């Protein structure tokens, strides 16, 4: 693996500001890996290419990019375009549109304001005009969808799909039936027919299972090559790509296959294994990409991630039911305790030295979860760093970077003392 010297990287980094620039910078850092560079290009081009495909006649809908939504829309023959991926095209002015024009309170989550600003700029331009809003967790987004509906977007919001702690048995079966009905409503809105093609959705579920297997292979290979795919691309590939394939499932899978081959053929570097500080990232995909670079430069490696799909989808039952049960069986279906189990399993799997929690300023919903998790893991003597950041582009604040560096250095010092 030929990589630029660390000092040269740090100097280059001083000139990097926007998310697009971080991604270009990351391509130079991964000069040795054609596969990583292809994956970064897929990240960078996701939204613009989906918009171009839409302009040429493909069906595309703005949607959340992580849970059941992308798989379901692919199964309907529609490109899911993740609105949470619009952050990298956003600027301060998008936030101001939300605050000044739409009168969103200043303290509203920056992700929501940035997305509203981006949608506003696309009004009456012939851009993708349908939004699938899933009202499971976020009140500010509920407001954003209503505002966009008034402005002329075709918005569909389903009822909250939430599984409380310890929900099992008959109550779980009721929830399964409820969500199936919700998905049929969405199918009717999106395609004009209140039905789902079992064969098409099933082939998406099979693809998902196949890719989850490949993701697990990459995670295992990262234990041998912790720095081959650095923090920024791994979080984007694992958290984002494995959920929505950046709108291009075939190209995404081909790049993943190439990455696995590269990593399998890479000689193991014993020095890397000695110096790596294994960390678990227990937050959303923060848009302040400088945080990830700070982790790399301090010698940390995010070997565990909270948001990636670990379980397989059942293939022995009707596809719609399988997708619903998969949703209720995974961390993002509801109560924070399900997610805590995932974090805990990752800490144990990796013998992780610390956990980084990351959330957005203004998100009261996620900050409660984070505080509960932090207390839980502190009681078990696992060091945690709780970060709050902004969604808008630009460099993270010096304070955030200082905290990341100090945390990783503290873990390194702890290890030396052991
Ligand atoms: S970070 Fe919180 S407030 Fe912001 S969009 Fe996500 S759930 Fe909503």
pLDDT in tens, 245-281: 999 999 999 999 999 999 999 999 999 998 888 899 8
Do the domain assignments include residue 126? yes
Supply the residue whose CA is at minimum distance from atom 7 of ligand 1: 138
The better pLDDT of the pair 36, 139 is held by 36
Judged by DSSP in three states, 306 sits in: coil
Q: Does some domain include residue 1?
A: no
Is 396 close to ligand 1, i.e. is its CB under 6 Å away? no
More confident site: 247 or 107: 247
The stretch 284-292 carries a mean pLDDT of 79
Decide if 248 is inside a domain.
yes
Q: How far is the CA of 66 from the centre of ligand 1 (A)?
A: 13
Q: Give yes or no for residue 86 CB within 6 A of ligand 1.
A: no
Residue 21 lies in a domain: yes
Residue 262 inside a domain? The answer is yes
Range of the domain at 341: 6-417
Q: Which of 8-12, 42-46, 139-143 has the lowest mean pLDDT?
A: 8-12
Q: Which range among 13-22, 138-147, 155-164 shows the weakest confidence by mean pLDDT? A: 13-22
Q: What is d(CA 147, CA 303) in angstroms, rounded to the nearest whole number?
A: 39
* Contact of 156 with 129, CB cutoff 8 Å: no
Mean pLDDT estimate for the chain: 87
Residues linked to residue 63 through DSSP beta bridges, in sequence order: 82, 132
Among 63, 83, 90, 365, the mutation site with the greatest number of ligand 1 atoms within 8 A of its Cβ is 365
For 357, residues 6+ apart whose C-beta sits below 8 A from its C-beta are 282, 283, 370, 373, 374, 384, 385, 386, 387
Q: Quote the number of domains for the chain.
A: 1
Q: Please work out whether the CB of residue 240 comes within 6 Å of at least one atom of ligand 1.
A: no
Which tens digits make up the pLDDT trace of 293-336? Answer: 888 888 888 888 876 667 899 999 999 999 999 988 875 555 67
Residue 392 banded pLDDT, cuts 50, 70, 90:
low
Please check whether residue 179 lies inside any domain of the structure: yes
List, in order, residues 6 or more apart from 1 with CB less than 8 Å away.
32, 33, 228, 266, 269
The answer to whether the CB of 373 falls within 8 A of the CB of 381 is no
For the beta carbon of residue 171, count every other beta carbon within 10 angstroms: 12
Q: What is the pLDDT of residue 12?
A: 65
pLDDT at 394: 61
More confident residue, 194 or 108: 194
**What is the percent of the chain where pLDDT is above 70?**
91
Q: Is residue 52 part of a domain?
A: yes
- Ligand 1 atom 8, closest CA: 138
Assign 9 a pLDDT band (cuts: 50, 70, 90).
low
Place of tokens 């992580």: 66
Atom of ligand 1 nearest to the CA of 359: 1
Beta carbons of 157 and 133 less than 8 angstroms apart: yes
pLDDT of 331: 59
What pLDDT does residue 6 have? 47
Hey, how many other C-beta atoms are within 10 angstroms of the C-beta on 197? 16
Cβ(268)–Cβ(314) under 8 Å?
no
């Amino acid at each position: 693996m030929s990589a630029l010297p660390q000092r040269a990287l740090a100097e280059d980094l001083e000139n990097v500001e926007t998310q697009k620039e971080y991604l270009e910078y990351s391509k130079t850092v991964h000069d040795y890996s054609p596969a990583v560079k292809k994956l970064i290009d897929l990240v960078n081009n996701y939204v613009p290419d989906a918009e171009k495909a839409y302009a040429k006649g493909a069906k595309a809908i703005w949607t959340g990019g992580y849970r059941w939504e992308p798989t379901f829309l692919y199964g309907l023959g529609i490109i899911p375009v993740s609105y949470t991926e619009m952050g990298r095209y956003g600027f301060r002015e998008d936030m101001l549109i939300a605050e000044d024009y739409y009168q969103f309170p200043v303290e509203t989550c920056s992700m929501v304001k940035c997305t509203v600003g981006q949608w506003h700029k696309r009004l009456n331009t012939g851009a993708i005009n349908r939004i699938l809003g899933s009202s499971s967790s976020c009140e500010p987004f509920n407001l954003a969808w209503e505002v966009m509906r008034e402005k002329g977007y075709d918005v569909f919001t389903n009822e909250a799909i939430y599984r409380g702690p310890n929900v099992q048995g008959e109550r779980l079966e009721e929830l399964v039936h409820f969500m199936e009905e919700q998905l049929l409503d969405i199918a009717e809105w999106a395609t004009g027919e209140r039905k789902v093609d079992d064969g098409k959705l099933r082939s998406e579920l099979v693809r998902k299972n196949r890719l989850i297997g490949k993701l697990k292979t990459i995670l295992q290979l990262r234990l041998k090559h912790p720095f081959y795919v650095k923090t920024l691309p791994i979080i984007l590939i694992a958290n984002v790509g494995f959920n929505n394939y950046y709108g291009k499932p075939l190209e995404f899978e081909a790049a993943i296959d190439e990455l696995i081959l590269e990593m399998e053929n890479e000689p193991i570097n014993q020095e890397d294994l000695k110096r790596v500080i294994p960390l678990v990232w227990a937050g959303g995909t923060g848009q302040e990409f400088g945080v990830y670079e700070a982790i790399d430069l301090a010698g940390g490696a995010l070997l565990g991630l909270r948001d990636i799909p670990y379980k397989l989808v059942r293939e022995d039952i009707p596809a719609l039911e399988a997708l619903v049960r998969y949703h209720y069986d995974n961390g993002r279906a509801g109560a924070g305790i399900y997610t805590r189990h995932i974090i805990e399993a990752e800490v144990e799997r990796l013998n992780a030295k610390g956990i980084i929690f990351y959330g957005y300023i203004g998100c009261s919903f996620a900050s409660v979860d984070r505080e509960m998790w932090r207390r839980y893991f502190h009681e078990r003597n696992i060091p945690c760093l709780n970060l709050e950041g902004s969604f808008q582009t630009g460099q993270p604040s010096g304070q955030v970077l200082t905290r990341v560096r100090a945390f990783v250095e503290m873990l390194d010092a702890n290890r030396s003392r052991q």
